[in-house]
Structure 1
Amino acid sequence: MTRIPAVSTLERRTAPEPVPVSAAPPPGRRRHRRWAGVAFIAPLVTYLVVFYAYPLVENVSMSLHRFTRATYVTGEAPFAGTDIYREVLTAPQFWPIVQQTAVFVVGSLVFQYVIGLALATYFHRHFPLSVLLRGLFLVPWLLPIIVSATTWQWMMDADSGIVNRFLGAFGIDPVWWLSADNSLWAVMIANIWLGIPFNLVILYSGLQNISAELYEAAALDGAGPWRRFWSITFPLLRPVSAITLLLGFVYTLKVVDIIWIMTAGAGSSQTLATWAYGMAFGKGTSAVIEYSQASVVGTILLLVALLMGLVYLAVQRKEQEA
């Protein structure tokens, strides 16, 4: 007869208790959770559909139909297919405006990023009054666009503008900033001034995430300031720089307000965005309302922005794989 060993009182006390198996929630509770999830996501989906998807579909639809003032009201615009795209792409002013847009966007991005990165690196040192000075650099970002554009328009006045007075102190002749030939450089300078605070804030936040131990180790190895910048700061800021340039590109590509207030899109300051605005509302150099042509230009701008977004995603995926 086999003897069963007795279980001591201590073993009985310390023995783990069986974990109760949680029962599945009843169907009513699962249904309640599902509807709660739908209620939370419904406002976001509604917002995206109403303010993004619907206008996008309407814009593409208008670019495929020949809309006039009469057909816009009645909604009976005839279908034109790709004829309107062909008219816009073959227009004599299309490619010059594309070139002006490229100069405006690329020039603004380069100077905004370089100056913003230099200021972010400078303020990263935490010297006295750095917080106050960094806050003052945000003033252009906080001012209404109409105030900033009007101020720059006054400053660049050929006769009484402070910019020409400053240049005159060095013996430089007055520059007609707002003329047809120089208007592109005038609006670009104003747009750079507006975009520097955005680059400063984003890049400064990126610098905060870089460990100070890396700079200390590099300094112990004898690396100077420039060596530390190119070997530590710039490479580690690459993800932040990529999203900063992407957002800056999308914003600069669709800039209308500051250009329209300063020059009304005249001369070399005409971009694709101001061209579409002028055709849609019959203002500036376009005296005739052309809804369909404006929609074509808007669709082109959307495709360019989408292409840049895809390039950004491809670069990010490649860096993650590497």
Structure 2
Amino acid sequence: MVHSAMTPAKRSSRSFSSWNNYLFVLPIVLFVLVFVLFPIVYNITLSFQDVNVYNFKKEHHFVGFENYVSTFKDPVFYTAFRNSIVFTVFSLVFQFGIGFALALFFNRRFPGRNLMRSLMLLAWMLPMVITASVFQWMLNGDYGVVNFILQSLGIIDQPYSWLSNQSTSLLSTIIANIWVGIPFNMIILLTGLQGMPEQLYEAAKLDGAGKLKQFRHITLPLMRPTILILIMLGIINTFKVFDIIFIMTAGGPVNSSNVLPIYSYQMSFTKFEFSQGASVSMIMFVILLLIAMVYLRMTNKEEAN
């Protein structure tokens, strides 16, 4: 029997190779530590302290849940929270509904399909600042193209201030956000539809199933994982939308389009109550974390079944 022993040179080479593997993941670990974990930990710490513009460079005192109590006592918080829910729900419903309809349409073969699909992606590819600025111009009460079209068609008699009116300011931002999100929903759903096995639909046709039954009993069940992922990503991305609302209305007028990200910004960088702004951010973080946990639980149940 021959016993083989690892030489010191081989051990050294293997050890170097092991450390070399760690070096490859070091950049991403540093990135997560600096740009993800550190801001979260710092924000948590800040939310339990009394930090504002007057004592920013002084010693910060621990105040417990005082910032959270002040936040929950502020009526503007509840206005922003309600607007966030409305903004998220309406945006998701129309983004998903229109996106699914377009995905079903583009899943068919017809001339110019690829060109039209590429043009649809322009809305998603444009920077949010440009999109918000375009919608701000279109909905302007004095020279907006929307008022011009509606007046030309005789729908309205005089120009309407869409962004400066309390009843339509939030609706205007929702419409802009829907326009941005439709292409993303379409592409994700279209990818799922194109991965469907054709044999199932052929078998359903032989059994006499129509288009509606095929959609209900084949398409929807097989698309369920894709739909869950899309809705989860949509809730997270929409709930924390800041730029499009900030550029179009800045949360106004009279907080009619104010949402939690804008409210947190106002507390931190308008009123300079940094700790209270951090507490609002943490409330948003907890809400999204709970939603993510619900999604993971649903996913685990599906995998188990």
TM-score (norm 1): 0.87
Task: Structure 2: state its 5+ residue gaps.
Answer: none
- Pairwise CA distance, 1:124: 0.5
* C-alpha distance in 1 between matches for 2:251 and 2:57: 28
Report whether the alignment pairs 1:213 with 2:199. yes
Task: Structure 1: state its 5+ residue gaps.
Answer: 1-19, 283-287
Are the counterparts in 1 of residues 251 and 262 from structure 2 also a CA contact under 8 Å?
Answer: yes
Q: Describe the superposition over 1:218-270 as per-residue Cα deviations: whole angstroms up to 9, x where unpaired.
A: 12222222221111111111111111111111111111100011001113210
Are the counterparts in 2 of residues 273 and 298 from structure 1 also a CA contact under 8 Å?
Answer: yes
* C-alpha distance in 1 between matches for 2:263 and 2:73: 15
- Pairwise CA distance, 1:71: 2.7
- What is the number of equivalent residue pairs in this alignment? 297
1:317 pairs with 293, 297, 300, which one? 300
Q: Describe the superposition over 1:134-178 as per-residue Cα deviations: whole angstroms up to 9, x where unpaired.
A: 000011111121211111111112343222333335543354321
Of stretches 220-229 and 201-210 in structure 1, the one that deviates more from structure 2 is 220-229
Report whether the alignment pairs 1:35 with 2:23. no
2:265 partner amino acid: Y
Structure 2 residue aligned with 1:44 = 28
Q: Tell me the percent identity.
A: 41
* C-alpha distance in 2 between matches for 1:231 and 1:168: 46
Instruction: Give runs of aligned pairs for residues 34-73 of structure 1, distance below 5 A.
Output: 34-73=18-57
Partner SS, residue 93 of structure 1: helix
Of stretches 302-311 and 30-39 in structure 1, the one that deviates more from structure 2 is 30-39
Instruction: Give runs of aligned pairs for residues 107-118 of structure 1, distance below 5 A.
Output: 107-118=90-101
Structure 1 residue aligned with 2:264 = 276
TM-score (norm 2): 0.92
Q: Describe the superposition over 1:56-84 as per-residue Cα deviations: whole angstroms up to 9, x where unpaired.
A: 0000111000111243234x221111011
Are the counterparts in 1 of residues 77 and 263 from structure 2 also a CA contact under 8 Å?
Answer: no
Are the counterparts in 1 of residues 79 and 258 from structure 2 also a CA contact under 8 Å?
Answer: no
Distance 1:135 1:69, change over 3 A: same
* C-alpha distance in 2 between matches for 1:89 and 1:24: 65
Structure 2 residue aligned with 1:186 = 172
Instruction: Give runs of aligned pairs for residues 113-124 of structure 1, distance below 5 A.
Output: 113-124=96-107
* C-alpha distance in 1 between matches for 2:177 and 2:11: 58
- Pairwise CA distance, 1:128: 0.7
Instruction: Give runs of aligned pairs for residues 28-177 of structure 1, distance below 5 A.
Output: 28-74=12-58, 76-173=59-156, 175-177=160-162
Quote the RMSD (CA, aligned, Å). Answer: 1.8
Partner SS, residue 204 of structure 2: helix
Partner SS, residue 71 of structure 1: coil
* C-alpha distance in 1 between matches for 2:123 and 2:57: 40
Q: Describe the superposition over 1:34-72 as per-residue Cα deviations: whole angstroms up to 9, x where unpaired.
A: 202211221111111111000000001110001112432
* C-alpha distance in 1 between matches for 2:232 and 2:6: 47
Are the counterparts in 2 of residues 111 and 192 from structure 1 also a CA contact under 8 Å?
Answer: yes
- Pairwise CA distance, 1:191: 0.4
Distance 1:70 1:201, change over 3 A: same
